[in-house]
């Protein structure tokens, strides 16, 4: 193979490398665009969930169909926010891919659960290794299932007494052993311990 053959081979190699690079660049651009299309509705949904949780407002409406006048606060607030930006408008509700609208009740519940986990984490961090009192009440829900509400009372680093609701847990019965085991599971899952309890109400 002469000089000309070597030059041709190098040119072909350079061409292939440039082509691969071009494919990588195109794929990266495509991925960034897809990420953007996903992140916009997620970001807006998080804003709506934060607002509704902060103001203790309900999410769902009686009729969430497309033709309904009032589809529930979650969707109505989302519709209002999307009017503020063309980018948000183009990537939310009916303009988002059908599997990425983030409006189904399951998605709404998952977003609320994410917020709940963050709140529980901040409570755990605030308590740290300090002590707390436990407030527990049990009752039946509308389906006659036994449930237990759990509240922690503690003093924060500034000396203020705080009471924080950490959850409602269904229990199979209200025997002391069942309640103790359920409390232990809740405390353990929140990285708290019975040894930190200094009072029970």
Q: What is the per-residue pLDDT across 84-143, written as a single tens digit (0 to 9) for each?
A: 888 777 767 776 766 666 777 888 889 899 999 999 999 999 998 899 999 988 877 777
Q: What is the per-residue pLDDT across 20-50, written as a single tens digit (0 to 9) for each?
A: 556 666 556 667 767 777 787 788 888 889 9
Mean pLDDT of 76-91: 79
Are the beta carbons of 198 and 132 closer than 8 angstroms? yes
Judge if 86 and 125 occupy the same domain: no
Three-class SS of residue 166? strand
d(CA 31, CA 152): 45
Nearest to 136 by CA among 121, 152, 123, 120: 152
Judge if 177 and 124 occupy the same domain: yes
Residue 163 is predicted with a pLDDT of 93
Nearest to 186 by CA among 123, 143, 92: 123
Judge if 120 and 40 occupy the same domain: no
Helix (H) or strand (E) holding 197: strand 197-200
Segments in 55-191 forming alpha helices (H): 73-82, 86-91, 105-127, 176-189
Residue 13 is predicted with a pLDDT of 67
Judge if 18 and 96 occupy the same domain: yes
Tell me which of 79, 103, 127 is where a domain ends. 103
Domain count, the chain: 2
Task: Characterize the bridge pairing of strands 146-155 and 197-200.
Answer: unpaired
Tell me which of 46, 77, 103 is where a domain ends. 103
Tell me which of 103, 124, 145 is where a domain ends. 103
pTM of the predicted model over 0.85? no
Judge if 92 and 183 occupy the same domain: no
Residue 154 is predicted with a pLDDT of 92
Judge if 91 and 12 occupy the same domain: yes
Are the beta carbons of 112 and 177 closer than 8 angstroms? no
Residue 31 is predicted with a pLDDT of 72
Judge if 12 and 56 occupy the same domain: yes
Provide the domain limits for residue 17. 3-103
Judge if 14 and 71 occupy the same domain: yes
């Amino acid at each position: 193979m002469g000089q000309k053959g070597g030059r041709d081979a190098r040119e072909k190699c350079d061409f292939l490398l440039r082509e691969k690079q071009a494919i990588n660049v195109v794929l990266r651009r495509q991925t960034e665009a897809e990420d953007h299309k996903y992140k916009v509705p997620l970001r807006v949904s998080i804003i709506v969930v934060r607002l509704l949780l902060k103001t203790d407002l309900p999410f769902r409406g009686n009729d969430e169909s497309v033709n309904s006048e009032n589809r529930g606060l979650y969707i109505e607030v989302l519709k209002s926010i999307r009017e503020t930006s063309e980018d948000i408008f183009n990537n939310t509700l009916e303009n988002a891919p059908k599997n990425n609208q983030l409006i189904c009740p399951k998605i709404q519940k998952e977003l609320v659960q994410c917020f709940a986990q963050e709140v529980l984490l901040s409570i755990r961090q605030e308590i740290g290794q300090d002590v707390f009192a436990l407030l527990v009440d049990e009752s039946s829900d509308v389906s006659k299932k036994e449930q237990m509400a759990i509240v922690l009372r503690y003093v924060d680093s500034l000396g203020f007494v705080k009471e924080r609701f950490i959850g409602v847990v269904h229990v199979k019965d209200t025997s002391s052993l069942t309640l103790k085991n359920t409390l232990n599971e809740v405390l353990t899952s929140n990285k708290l311990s019975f040894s930190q309890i200094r009072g029970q109400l």
